[in-house]
Amino acid sequence: MRESSLVKIRMLAESDPEMVFTSLAHRIDLSLLEKSLRQVRTSKSSGVDGITAEEYAENLDKNLYNLYQRLRRGQYVATPVKRIWIDKEVVG
């Protein structure tokens, strides 16, 4: 059985804690993308790109291959997200 890309990354990080990963794109393969997609919570809502999970899955092989190719060429750019910090009351 073939080890997943994430297992290889974990093994590298454990074997050399000082290792710095500058990019993990070369460790991503089609099977990892497909597995990751299955773990995403699906809803009727669209993502920031306006595409729902259901719509993406209609042409899954084509969409994953396109994403994989963009990752390999360095053309994929994740859409920025806005992080909002919510202050919590300190109890103690």
Domain ranges of the chain: 5-73
Q: Quick one: angle between helices 60-73 and 30-39, nearest 10?
A: 120
Query: Does the pLDDT at position 4 exceed 70?
Result: no
pTM: 0.64
Question: What is residue 1's predicted lDDT score, i.e. its pLDDT?
Answer: 40
Q: Which pLDDT belongs to residue 3?
A: 59
Q: What radius of gyration, in Å, describes the C-alpha atoms of the chain?
A: 17
- Of 51 and 48, more confident: 51
pLDDT in tens, 11-49: 888 999 898 888 777 778 888 888 888 887 777 777 778
